[in-house]
Structure 1
């Protein structure tokens, strides 16, 4: 008998599937034919996938069908620069943890994350975390960053897992939704999840005093269910997000402020690099576009062009 369920844990070779409309959870494997599907993705299944499965001997579930994904987020596969790995699928809101220090978050990582959310139609939320460690001038600087991204259209929230600043507001934003949290190693992802729901006891890692970076503590993806409604997909650390099957010309669509200004360019196919009468370049000179955002736009275009060549 075929049943429907949700993938709630992935270790690479084994999965856990939660049966639809019940609390039943089964250990699951996939039929070999899924592994034969030609794809640039290293994993055929991801946490968040809706599937069909059949129970066989010893209540082992064999997954027979993967439903179409509404969206997904991808990271570059380890040691496989031309292949990618699905981090999570069917996500409602992706929360990016931005820390000014311990560790310092790079704008390149943030902008790449936001571009991926745009590309795969996922609502992003920027969480400016560890504000309990900041001085007043540093908090003012974080507020400026928050305002800068809000002008583009991205919502942000200052939070602290230690003082519990704005954690109730965060709960309201992720309530009854499938959420996922990302950030540099040591940014406090697991600590934040534990603060939102004491008792989950996700492993937390220490910051290296020498390199100011944390060690990844999550080795597989798993979905946890909030008591206040909804769920969170806990994922292994992500060093770099990826976009597959995206052409160089498409990148400007994933930077809202660049795409908006680009409509006023003289040429409809303007790439905003060195073309005459480019509204984006004029906007850059007039501080209508942040220089860091523009440089990250150029970098993503270069990567997309390189992938096209390969």
Structure 2
């Protein structure tokens, strides 16, 4: 039997407020016409899937209920710990209502041109940044993800997939390119779904943690998930011969339980991770090797480019900071303004 949750005083007040609000509201939408919940009827669970206006919630016994979401809740994403009420199965298959989302210890969001900053998943322990030699190995894309990870304080792991396609010479070049990240303390794995290289190490990293895979389409995220969890029934899309870009194969966010322990959140792919929602100062500090030099430049408004007395540029010239990472940083800054939407209505 699932245990009744112990609510905090704040959560009890929230339940009471929600209940009173619903009792007084005579204009409820069809999605929230379920009976008003009280504290005694609530169960605790975890969101394992999000589908449009509904979410799948798994209780402590492993039973999954598809739930409506109270209109008073701002957002619900995979990984959320929630309190929900259960009812009889309806014809639509929806049999519960999410009443409260517990406080999150981490939240991964991505900027959306139309919706602003859009939450993707919560309560994540680590982000698996997947890149590949096909479509291409882009260090700038990796840097974007690393900035996002550093900004929200979630540990990243870098995975280079499809390494079976590399010649010996190309492999040495990839190792040299990624050596900068290992020197900074980031974990880097080489994997292949064809010959199983690196999969044991990847499984060890995932054990007992909540992880999410991110990366461009076509890098093999779904193929890796199929190797890690064969029963996940992920769709695998071939890389387009014409464009070199992969086809989006994941259509809805879901949380998958790993046999050895831990969970994996699979979310629709992102071809490019924009950072226009992060202030320039936080983008700069997202390059961890820059931090020892920040605040020491001659001018307080130093752009860290051609400014006199710039400690960052001097560190690059002395070889203390990677010239490639420094160039990648300025490439990111150059794209921030052009990617940032104005939200101005032209009509």
Fold shared, TM-score > 0.5 on shorter chain: yes
Aligned to 1:52: 83
CA deviation after TM superposition for structure 1 residue 244, in Å? 7.3
Per-residue CA distance 1:153-212 (angstroms, 9 max, x = gap): 211011111111121111111101111112211111111111122232211001111111
118, 142, 148: which is aligned to 1:85? 118
Per-residue displacement from partner, 1:91-148 (whole Å, max 9, x unpaired)? Answer: 1111111212x21032221111000000011110001111111000111011112211
CA distance in 1, matches of 2:319, 2:103: 42
3-state DSSP class of the match of 2:293? helix
Contact kept in structure 2, 1:55 and 1:62, CA below 8 Å: yes
Kept after mapping to 2: 8 A contact 1:247/1:305: no
- Tell me the alpha carbon deviations over residues 64-114 of structure 1, each in whole angstroms, 9 at most, x when there is no partner: 11112211222232x51x6122221111111111212x2103222111100
Structure-2 residue corresponding to 1:29: 68
Helix, strand or coil at the partner of 2:309: coil
Matched position secondary structure for 1:45: coil
| 1:248 counterpart residue number | 280
Secondary structure of the corresponding residue to residue 79 of structure 2: coil
Look at both structures and tell me which one has the larger radius of gyration over its CA atoms: 2
Query: Equivalent residue of 2:172, what SS?
Result: helix
2:46 aligned counterpart, secondary structure? strand
2:231 is aligned, of 199, 202, 219, to 199
Aligned residue number for residue 41 of structure 1: none
Cα 1:154–1:263 shift into 2, 3 Å: farther
Match of 1:17 among 48, 51, 57: 57
SS in 2 for 1:68: coil
Report the RMSD for the aligned CA atoms in angstroms: 2.2
Gaps of 5+ in 1: 38-43
Within the alignment, does 1:288 sit opposite 2:320 as a pair? yes
Q: Which moved more, 1:234-243 or 1:299-308?
A: 299-308
Separation in 1, partners of 2:189, 2:266:
20
Deviation at 1:5, TM superposition (A): 1.0
Distance in 2, Cα, partners of 1:296 & 1:29: 43
Structure 1 equivalent of residue 129 of structure 2: 96
Say yes or no: does 1:109 pair with 2:149.
no
8 A Cα contact 1:7 1:17, kept in partner: yes
Q: Which has the higher contact order (CA 8 A, sep 6+)?
A: 1
Match of 1:3 in 2: 43
CA contact (8 A) 1:74 1:243 kept: no
Q: What is the TM-score with the length of structure 1 in the denominator?
A: 0.88
| Shift, 1:292, TM fit | 3.6
Q: Which runs of 5+ in 2 are unaligned?
A: 1-40
